[in-house]
């Protein structure tokens, strides 16, 4: 936990009283210090220190910002980096058994990592997922003022009309949320297309559809971003939103659960192949392909950050790390997932 204090001198206090408040707060911002220790160092009672801190906050005499970042596990990070030849790996402790705590912990860590890695003026492409949602919720307001934000998948308006609840499941929503966090001159693009009548689309047909909807050039920019944010998930457990999408694209859900081990950006895979031919309906979602992400992850100056949290996603992460599938160079996850992937013999 990091605490930052700032004195507001416009409060009518005499200098001696202001100096006393400053002395208390300077000590309070040191990691691990207690109010009892502050009181002892200043020759005050603990009750007085507590009152000073409380009044300073309530009256706006001083402002405190609390940044909570989960601790990391360097040993597991080093093992993952070395074994899978990644640019970086970040592992945080697993919290709770419901997956929600793990997603929040990984999301907070991913937010801090993203804001450390990315520079002003960068182009960022964003996929979707519950852990990425946690990441966006924990971004620092107005941290950047000059970014371009692109969705990594295109939402078909026919899907929106038939299953309105899936709107937030597509990257457009996360891109808009990031724009709202940062403000300034940050640009966020929204990728939507008119209902598509043809199915089992070729790559050229997808480009033609993007051209017809006036977003082809922007989509190509998204494919050439500096940083890509993806989430490794699974189709083993799906909610109503995911089910609505799969049914819209005529996907055999039972077969998908049986044959796939994971998914990234709406693309299902096992440990050997992206399952494009088996699930042609799912392939009709226009999204940045995993084979393209693989190239980007190996391109100097570009990074693909993958996040995943909770033991339910451990098998998906294991499969995604196999050489035929691996399409990212930075992995941010929790200890439960890290332990499984390091114990796997297939990768």
Domains and CATH numbers, the chain: 2-67 (1.10.10), 74-343 (3.40.50.1360)
Q: List, for residues 61-74, the tens digit of each pLDDT value.
A: 555 454 567 899 99
Cβ–Cβ under 8 Å, residues 316 and 234: yes
- Is the pLDDT assigned to residue 299 strictly greater than 90? yes
Task: Please tell me the predicted confidence (pLDDT) of residue 164.
Answer: 57
The alpha carbon of residue 142 and the mean position of all alpha carbons in its chain are separated, in whole angstroms, by 17
Task: Please tell me the predicted confidence (pLDDT) of residue 133.
Answer: 94
Block residue for tokens 């050489």: 323
Min mean pLDDT across 32-36, 272-276, 293-297 is at: 32-36
- Is the pLDDT assigned to residue 3 strictly greater than 50? no
- Is the pLDDT assigned to residue 1 strictly greater than 80? no
Q: Give me the torsion for CA of 126, 127, 128, 130, rounded to 10°.
A: -80
Block residue for tokens 């507590």: 50
Taking residues 181-196, what's their average pLDDT?
Answer: 92
- Is the pLDDT assigned to residue 14 strictly greater than 60? no
Instruction: Compute the distance between CA of residue 332 and CA of residue 341 in angstroms, rounded to an integer.
Output: 13
Task: Please tell me the predicted confidence (pLDDT) of residue 9.
Answer: 45
> Between helices 35-42 and 15-28, what is the axis angle to 10°?
140
- Is the pLDDT assigned to residue 261 strictly greater than 60? yes
Cβ–Cβ under 8 Å, residues 203 and 287: no
Instruction: Compute the distance between CA of residue 158 and CA of residue 311 in angstroms, rounded to an integer.
Output: 34
- Whose CA is closest to 316, among 293, 294, 333? 333
- Is the pLDDT assigned to residue 98 strictly greater than 70? no
Say what percent of the chain tops pLDDT 90: 64
- Whose CA is closest to 102, among 78, 66, 139, 70? 70
């Amino acid at each position: 936990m990091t605490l930052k204090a700032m004195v507001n001198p416009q409060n009518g206090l005499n200098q001696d009283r202001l100096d006393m408040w400053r002395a208390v707060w300077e000590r309070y911002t040191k990691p691990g210090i207690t109010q009892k220790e502050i009181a002892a160092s200043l020759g005050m009672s603990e009750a007085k220190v507590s009152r000073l801190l409380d009044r300073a906050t309530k009256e706006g005499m001083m402002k405190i910002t609390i940044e909570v970042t989960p601790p990391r596990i360097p040993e597991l990070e080093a093992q993952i980096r070395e074994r899978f030849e990644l640019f970086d790996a970040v592992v945080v402790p697993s919290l709770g058994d419901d997956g929600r705590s793990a997603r929040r912990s990984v999301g907070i860590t991913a937010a801090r990592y993203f804001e450390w890695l990315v520079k002003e003026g960068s182009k960022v492409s964003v996929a979707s997922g519950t852990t990425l949602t946690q990441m966006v919720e924990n971004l620092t307001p107005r941290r950047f003022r000059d970014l371009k934000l692109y969705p990594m998948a295109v939402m078909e308006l026919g899907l929106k009309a038939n299953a309105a609840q899936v709107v937030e499941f597509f990257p457009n929503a996360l891109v808009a949320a990031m724009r709202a966090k940062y403000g300034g001159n940050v640009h966020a693009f929204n990728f939507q297309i008119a209902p598509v009548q043809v199915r089992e689309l070729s790559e050229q047909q997808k480009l033609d559809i993007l051209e017809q909807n006036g977003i082809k050039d922007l989509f190509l920019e998204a494919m050439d971003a500096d940083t890509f944010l993806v989430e490794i998930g699974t189709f083993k457990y799906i909610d109503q939103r995911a089910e609505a999408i799969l049914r819209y694209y005529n996907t055999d859900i039972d077969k998908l659960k049986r044959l796939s081990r994971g998914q990234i950006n709406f693309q299902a895979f096992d440990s050997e192949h992206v399952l494009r031919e088996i699930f042609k309906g799912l392939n009709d979602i226009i999204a940045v392909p995993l084979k393209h992400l693989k190239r980007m992850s190996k391109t100097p100056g570009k990074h693909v950050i993958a996040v995943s949290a909770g033991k339910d996603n451990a098998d998906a992460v294991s499969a995604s790390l196999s050489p035929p599938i691996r399409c990212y160079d930075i992995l941010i996850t929790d200890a439960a997932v890290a332990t499984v992937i390091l114990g796997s013999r297939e990768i």
